[in-house]
C-alpha cells in the first residue's frame, strides 16, 4: 500500500503511523453535554466497509498529518490532502 503524501509523493505505508477515522471532531469540553459527546468521539465508530476518511502521520517523511481517502474493502486510495488544509472544517488530528 502506497500513500500519496502531498509533500513527498507516493510513499510506502510503513513510513506512516495510523490514527483512524478522520470524520470525528473533538467536542468542546466546556459544552453542557460534553461527557456524552466525548464518549461518542473516543469510543464510537461507524466502521464503514467501503469509503473511509482517515488520518495518517508521515512519521518517516515530512512529519505532516495527512487525511487519506481509502476503500476499506480493497485498500485502494482515492487521494490524500494535508490535514491542516481542512482541519478547521472537518475534524482534527488528536
- The site for other proteins (CB under 8 A) is made up of 1, 12-14, 18, 20-21, 39-40, 42-49, 52, 54, 70, 72-75
Q: Cα separation of 56 and 13, whole Å? A: 9
Closer residue to other proteins (CB): 19 or 62:
19
The least distance separating other proteins from the CB of residue 78, rounded to whole angstroms, comes to 14
Residue number, 78 or 88, with CB nearest to other proteins: 78
Give Cα 41 distance to the centre of its chain. Answer: 13
Burial of 22 (0-12, 13-18, 19+ CB in 10 A): buried
Amino acid at each position: 500500500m502506497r500513500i500519496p503524501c502531498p509533500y513527498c509523493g507516493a510513499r510506502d505505508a510503513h513510513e506512516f503511523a495510523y490514527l483512524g477515522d478522520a470524520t470525528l471532531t473533538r467536542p468542546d469540553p466546556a459544552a453542557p453535554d460534553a461527557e456524552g459527546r466525548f464518549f461518542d468521539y473516543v469510543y464510537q465508530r461507524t466502521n464503514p466497509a467501503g469509503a473511509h476518511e482517515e488520518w495518517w502521520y508521515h512519521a518517516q517523511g515530512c512529519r505532516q498529518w495527512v487525511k487519506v481517502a481509502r476503500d476499506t474493502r480493497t485498500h485502494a486510495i482515492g487521494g490524500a490532502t494535508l490535514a491542516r488544509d481542512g482541519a478547521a472544517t472537518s475534524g482534527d488530528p488528536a
